Chain A
Amino acid sequence: MNKVLFFAHLRDAVGEESLTLDAGGKTVAELKADLAASYNLPKMDTVMTAINEEFASNDEVIQDGDEIAFIPPVSGG
C-alpha cells in the first residue's frame, strides 16, 4: 500500500490530507491520471511529485510502501 499526501488546492479537491491506496507498479503519470479521474482534479501534468521526500519525474515507477506527495507549483507573489 502507499500513502499519498496532497498539498494546497489538491487537498481541498480531494477532501483529505492523505489517502492510502495501492499504487505499486504504476508510474507517477498513471497515478496522476487515476486520481484526476476519480476526484475530478484540475490538470495534474505540472504538479510536482515527491516519492519518499525526493523529487520524482512523471515516468518514475512507484514501489509498494513508497510515500507519495503531490505539490502543485503556485504562481502568486
Chain B
Amino acid sequence: MNERYSRQILFPGIGQDGQEKIRHKHVLIIGAGALGSGNAEVLARAGAGKITIIDRDYVDASNLQRQQLYTEADVAEKMPKAAAAEKRLRAINSDVSIRSIIGDATAEMLEELARDGVDVMIDATDNFETRMMMNDVAQKYKIPWIYGACVGSFGMSFSIIPEKTPCLNCLLRSIPLQGMTCDTGGIIAPAVQMVIAHQTAEALKMLAEDWEAIRTTFVSFDLWRNQYASLKMSKAKFAGCLSCGEERTYPYLDQENWTKTSVLCGRDTVQIRPSTSGEVSLEQLAGQLSSLGYAVKGNPYLISVDMGGQRMVIFQDGRALIHGTKDITQAKSIYQRILG
C-alpha cells in the first residue's frame, strides 16, 4: 500500500487489512451540500474505492461559508454541486473512482444504485422525505447508512444497520414537519464539521468492517450552548415498523408518495419536478427565451432566466428551481409559463 495512506494504516482500528477493505468499497453520498462536501472529501482522502455523489442544486454564494469543496469560480459559473464536487474530488485523489449525478435522488435511482452494489450510504440531504426513502432502500437492500443533520449550532447523527439497529422510521414514525427547522437561525460551519466527523468515523468503521466499533447511541450536541447528549437506543426498535418490522412494506419507495414540488430548506426557493422525465434541450430553450426578451445565462448543465422578481433555473432533466418565492402555486405558474 502506498505511502499516501500510511498514517491511516498505522492506526490500529484500520491497519493494512482495513485499508485494503476500504479500497474495495462503494460509498453513496446523497446530497452535496455542507455534509455531502465534507463527507466526500474525508472519504476520498481516506482512499474509498468508489464514491457516488448525488445533488439537485447548483453552487450559490451563500454555500461557501461551509461547503468545503466549492470556490468562487463555481459560484460565478453556477456549477451544479455534483459536477463541481466531482472535479474537486478527482483533483484530491485520483485513486478513487468518482461518479456524480445531477438530479433528484429518487427511489428508482437509489434502488438501481443499490442493486449494482453499495456498501455504505451517507445521509447528506436536507429533508426527511429523502431520508425516509434512503431508510427504506437501506432496509430492502441491507445497506448500512449514517443519518446526519444540523441546524444553527445543533447537530445529530445515528448509525443505522439493517436487522440490527432501530431504523429512522422506528424513531420518527412519520415525516417531521420541515417548518420546525428550516428557517431557524442559520448554520455555523463547526456544527457541520462535527456531524461530518461523526458520520465519517462511522463510515470508516463500516468500510473497514470493524462492526464491533460502531457507535450504538444516537448522538446530538449544541456547540454554542455546550450541550451534549448520547441516547441509548436499545428500546427504540418498533416491531410494527413499516420499514424494518415483521410486516414491512417500504412505504417511502412508493412513487405515489413522492411530491412533485418541494420548498427548499431555507432558500426561498421552490423546486418543480416534471411528472415525466426526459432531457430538455437547454440550448434551444435559451435561444427561444432570449428572443422573447428574457435575460438568460447558463452553462452546459443548466440555464438561469430572470423573470422579474423571481429567477428560474432549469436543468437538463426538466427540473426547475424557482428562486424568490416559497409559494408553490406561484412557482408552478412561472414554470408552466416557460415549460408548459
Contact = CB atoms under 8 A, between A and B. Distances in A.
B317 interface: no
A73 B227 contact: no
B150 interface: yes
Query: Which bucket holds chain B's interface residue count?
Result: 35 or more
A57 to B, nearest CB: 8
Contacts of B172: 46, 73
A45 B220 CA distance: 19
A55 B173 CA distance: 14
A55 B180 contact: no
A53 B220 CA distance: 12
Interface string A1-12: 000010111011
A48 interface: yes
A69 interface: yes
Closest 4 CB pairs of A and B: A46-B176, A76-B151, A55-B236, A8-B154
A18 B176 CA distance: 23
A33 interface: no
Given A8-B154, A74-B151, 17 more contacts: A8-B184, A11-B222, A43-B180, A46-B172, A46-B177, A53-B232, A54-B232, A57-B235, A57-B236, A57-B238, A74-B181, A75-B125, A75-B131, A75-B265, A76-B34, A76-B265, A77-B123
A46 B179 contact: no
B193 to A, nearest CB: 13
Nearest to B127: A75
A69 B238 CA distance: 20
Contacts of B33: 77
A32 B110 CA distance: 36
A53 B230 contact: yes
Contacts of B174: 45-46
Interface residues of A, number: 26
B149 A74 contact: yes
Contact of A7 (B127, B222, B233): B222
B162 interface: no
B231 interface: yes
A54 B229 contact: no
Nearest to B186: A76
Contacts of A48: 171, 218, 231
A63 B154 CA distance: 29
Contact of B149 (A42, A43, A45, A76): A76
A14 interface: no
* Most central of A7, A53, A74, A77 by chain B CB within 10 Å: A77
